[in-house]
Every structure is written in structure tokens, then in C-alpha cells.
Amino acid sequence: MPTKHIAIVATFDTKREEVFFLESLVKARGYQPVLIDVGPLSPAAAGADFSNETIADLGGRRLADLIKSGRRDQIMAAMGKGASRALLDLFKKKRLDGVIGIGGNQGTAMASMAMQSLPLGFPKLLVSTIASGNMRPYIGHKDICVMFSVADLLGGPNPVSRSILKNAAGALMGMVAQGESIPVEPAEKIIALSALGNTEAAAHRIIHQLREKGLQVITFHASGAGGSAMEELIEAGLFSGIIDLTPHELAEEVVGAGAYIPVRPGRLQAAGRTGIPQVVSLGALEYLCFGPRESIPARLRTRKTYFHNPYNANVKLSRKEMATIGQVMAERLNAAKGPTVVLVPLQGWSIYGRLGGPLYDGRGNLALLAGLKSRMNPDIDYKEIDLHINDQLFADACVETLLHLLKEN
């Protein structure tokens, strides 16, 4: 069998001993290590397969110029970009089967920038001193496994870091040996579906109905990362169609606030660009999601708020914001190359947004619909249905509409 290659991304100027320890573990299992140095101050003979000078060049900068600038943000951006290009080149040449990164704050940033360039389903693992904090900026919507280093990664392996690094290397090599990539040319039709807890009843019904028709369904939580991952996989060619039941992330992207802002800008565009049939509804477009009460920005704390749980607050959108969301939604759907149908449940778009619910605002809903209809191309099929989004009959309408589009397409 061909040799498997595992890249190790780290700052050799501060983590060299830890890198060589990982290298020995990889070699001991019969894998070929590929060492990538993103440390700007490493010596010329640091022992990397991709030196820091090479990585800087791949990032579009001279290493000497970066060091002279003294700008850590520019250094990290260039080295992260360079490492990304190195990994992608290895991947395209089929000389990369997994990647492990180690680091503190800066090393984590550069290694994660590099890992985010690799496709979903590819083995990636990050050992970080900051793993107990907010990792969203580092992970984005990618499937990067993160392990807390516990002890700082300085001075070479010690009884604590040795255990962590051995476990990390074992986990990554296990993924390489036993893992499976995501197929981009499926043998059977696969449908994408977006959902939140507020639209879960409809999502369950849609999954059941589509499976009865012999279709596979992959559901994505509209959490900012979920919708972004879904759209990357749409562009990769995994899906034959989509029921975008819950485009909630669009609301947070337009308003610029919330815990579920898409990590990849441009929600509600991938299906249109690729031309796959899409059925779009308005799930959870009437509120913003935040964490605990203290996470809500001061400017929004006077708004109507419902706590989904002690750690999840739903904050009502203003009518002006809802009108703008409708307009942006129309503009993005107008660019679709494939068949598109918008289904509007008139009795509410979430559990809390139904008539009598804590976040119901009929005039706000009408404002969004007015914005949507004022900008949407007349050739896009638009249907209003006098049901709630979680009613079984509405879920059935979504399924029937998509099946018709698939048949026609």
C-alpha cells in the first residue's frame, strides 16, 4: 500500500522539540511526516520540509520583510496563507492524508488558517493551549478536531504534554487509517435540509417523507457554522436539491448581530449558483440568537426576548430589520440559476413566532413579506400557505414541491 503522509504544522521557533516528538510518533506507525514551519523566527536549518521562508513566499511575502514590519497580524496572515497553500498543493498531489497542528494563540491561528483550506471530511486535528476558549474564529465551519493541551507547549515534552501529544497523534492516525471522505458524486440523490429546534417538528416530517421516497436527507443546524458547511457541500456537488426550511442565519448576517452569524458570508446563495432545485421557507427569520443574558448587546436588551434555555436567548427583530431581510432574501434568490420556490407559512415561522407566541409580530412578518415581494423576480414561484411552519401539511407541501422540481429538472 502507498505510504500515508501526515503534515505537522507548528512554529518551530517555539515548538521544535514538540514537533520532533510528534514526528517520531508518526514515523513509528509507518507514516511519512511532512513538517511545516510557520514560526517567523526559526533558524534556517530548523529541520522542516517547508521552511518558514518557503511558507512566507507561498503567502506572498518575504520573511525578512515580515519580520522587519513587526506586525504580528500581518506575519500570521501571511504564514497562515502560505501554510494553507502548502497543504492544498500536497492534497492535490495526493501526498497528504491528515494534518495535525500544535500551538499557543499565534500557532493556533496560523495552523487553523491552513486547515480551513482543506475539504470537509479530511482528517484535521489541532492541539491548542487556548482550546477552552472561544474557538469559533479558528474553526469556522470546518470539521477541525480540537484538543486542549492542558500544559503549555514549551520546553519539550513532559509527563503531561507527552500524554496529550501521544493521544492527539493516535487520534489523527486513527482517522487517517479508519476515516472516510465525504463523497461528492453520490450514487443516489441526497437532499440538504436546514433546521433549528424551533422548526424541528417540520424537519422530522420532511426527513420521514423524503426517506419514504427513497431519498437521503442531510440536516444542518442553522447555527452559523451549519449553514456555511451546507453551502460548501452544495458547491462541492453533494446535493441534488435543498429544502432551506430555516434560513435563520440570513437574518443575523443582514443585521450583523447574533451568535449564529454565518461564518462564511453570503447565506442563501450556493444553491442558486449551482442551479440545484431549491424550496425556500422563512424558518426563524423573526429573531436573533444570543447566549446568556449578558451576551446580548446593550442596544438590544430592551427588545422582546424569550429564553430558549438559560444559555440561549431569542431577541425579536425590528420591523425595519425584517423588511431589509426580505429585500436581501429576494436579491439573493433572484440570482438563482435553477428552479426556486418560496413557501410562506402564514401562521408563523417558529414555535415562538406563532400567533400567541412570545415572539409573534404579525406586522413584522408582513414587513418582511413586503420587502421580499417588492424585490423578487416575478418568475420565482411564490406561495403563501395558511399553516404554521411546523404543521405536518406544510412539511408535506415542502416535500411535494421539491419532488416536483426534481422531476422537472
H/E segment holding residue 315 = strand 312-316
Q: Contact at 8 Å (CB) between 162 and 21?
A: yes
Query: Which pLDDT score, from 0 to 100, does residue 299 have?
Result: 94
What is the rounded CA–CA span in Å between residue 320 and residue 384?
21
Identify the CA nearest to 283 among candidates 296, 268, 293: 268
What is the rounded CA–CA span in Å between residue 59 and residue 114?
11
Give me the tens of pLDDT residue by residue for the chain, a chain 409 residues long. 678 999 999 999 999 999 999 999 999 999 999 999 999 988 877 789 999 999 999 999 999 998 898 888 899 999 999 999 999 999 999 999 999 999 999 999 999 999 999 999 999 999 999 998 889 999 999 999 999 999 999 889 999 999 999 999 999 999 999 998 887 765 568 999 999 999 999 999 999 999 999 999 999 999 999 999 999 999 999 999 999 999 999 999 999 999 999 999 999 999 999 999 999 999 999 999 999 999 999 999 999 999 988 889 999 999 999 999 999 999 999 999 999 999 999 999 999 999 999 999 999 999 999 999 999 999 999 999 999 999 999 999 999 999 999 998 7
Query: Which pLDDT score, from 0 to 100, does residue 83 have?
Result: 97
Query: Which pLDDT score, from 0 to 100, does residue 305 have?
Result: 95
Q: Contact at 8 Å (CB) between 194 and 260?
A: no
Query: Which pLDDT score, from 0 to 100, does residue 12 have?
Result: 94
HSE-CB for 50 with a 13 A CA cutoff: 28
Q: Considering the entire predicted model, what is its pTM?
A: 0.89
The backbone torsions φ and ψ at residue 132, rounded to the nearest 5 degrees and listed phi first, read -85, 0
H/E segment holding residue 290 = strand 287-290
Tell me the pairing of strands 287-290 and 98-103. Answer: unpaired
All structural domains of the chain: 5-178 (3.40.50.12020), 190-408 (3.40.50.12030)
> Who's near 295: CB < 8 A, 6+ residues apart?
259, 313
Which triple of cell numbers denotes residue 181? Answer: 471522505
Query: Which pLDDT score, from 0 to 100, does residue 226 have?
Result: 96
Torsion sign, CA atoms 8, 9, 11, 12: positive
